[in-house]
Amino acid sequence: MSLENMVIPEHVAVILDGNGRWAKKRGIPRAMGHKAGCETLEKMVRIASDAGIRYFTVYGFSTENWKRSQEEVGALMQLFRYYMVRLLKIASANNVRVKMIGDKTRFAPDIIKGIDDLVESTRDNTGMTFVIAINYGGRDEIVRAARKLVKSYQESGRDSESISEAEFASFLDTADIPDPDLMIRTSGELRLSNYLLWQMAYGELYVTDCLWPDFNKEELEKAIAAYNKRERRFGGRV
């Protein structure tokens, strides 16, 4: 398959699911599945950028994922530490700008510093924007936005009747990021799992049974081909 003559969605969001199932199939620990998932992610950043995608947003850790076993959460934190450093090299080599959405305040100080360094040192890159959603939850994001909005209205004394959708959106973590055109979920689950609730009002959904560690260029091309067959309604470019 080739992407020739296809409309490339400007913003692709991904729910990278299935690391655990991938490991289970092989009879290896879940942490090994997450490691394989990180390797796939590393490859997909370059592949998405080469495909001409302008914004690529991946769900790395949800506000609900803290409820997993201490062992699994610990393994994920170690992977963040390791892959953040690798990501800095990949982003720099591919002119990729990294952004983070979610509430980073819950992470250990060294992880927060790693995120800040990654964002800061890639901020002037002009290629694809790679958005990492960690400790992200759509509801949490909306509540945090509401708090900021209320504070700003209290300070300015403006009438709350003037709040528009656009103004509300400007308080979300995704303030300067266009809404996703296409959301891909791997591993077959048919739900949003608290991902980009506001932003996905009209985004197209594509679900594949492919487990995230097995995801690759061909799978991305299949998703983009399916997107090109959709008849979009509001807010679409196809």
Tell me which residues are annotated as active site.
Answer: 17, 65
Contacts of 104 (CB under 8 A, 6+ apart): 111, 112, 115, 134, 135
Q: Cα dist. 68→20, 75, 148 in Å? A: 12, 11, 30
Specify the residue, 92 or 193, whose C-beta has the smaller distance to ligand IPE.
Answer: 193
* CB-based closest residue to Mg ion: 17
Binding residue for ligand IPE, selected from 59, 80, 107, 227, defined by CB under 6 A: 59
Specify the residue, 171 or 203, whose C-beta has the smaller distance to ligand IPE.
Answer: 203
Residue from 16, 19, 38, 39 nearest 29 by CA: 19
40 binds ligand IPE (CB under 6 A): no
Name the minimum Å distance from CB 107 to Mg ion: 20
21 binds ligand IPE (CB under 6 A): yes
Q: Which stretch binds ligand IPE (CB under 6 A): 16-24, 46-54, 78-86, 156-164?
A: 16-24
The HSE-up count of residue 158 (CA atoms within 13 Å, CB side) is: 12
Contacts of 52 (CB under 8 A, 6+ apart): 3, 8
What single DSSP character describes residue 203?
A: -
Kindly identify the residues of this chain, within the stretch 166-205, that bind ligand IPE according to CB under 6 A: 187, 189, 191, 193
CA angle 193, 194, 199 (to 5 degrees): 120
104 binds ligand IPE (CB under 6 A): no
* CB-based closest residue to ligand IPE: 20
Summarize as ranges the residues that interact with ligand IPE (CB under 6 A). Answer: 15-21, 59-62, 65, 76, 187, 189, 191, 193
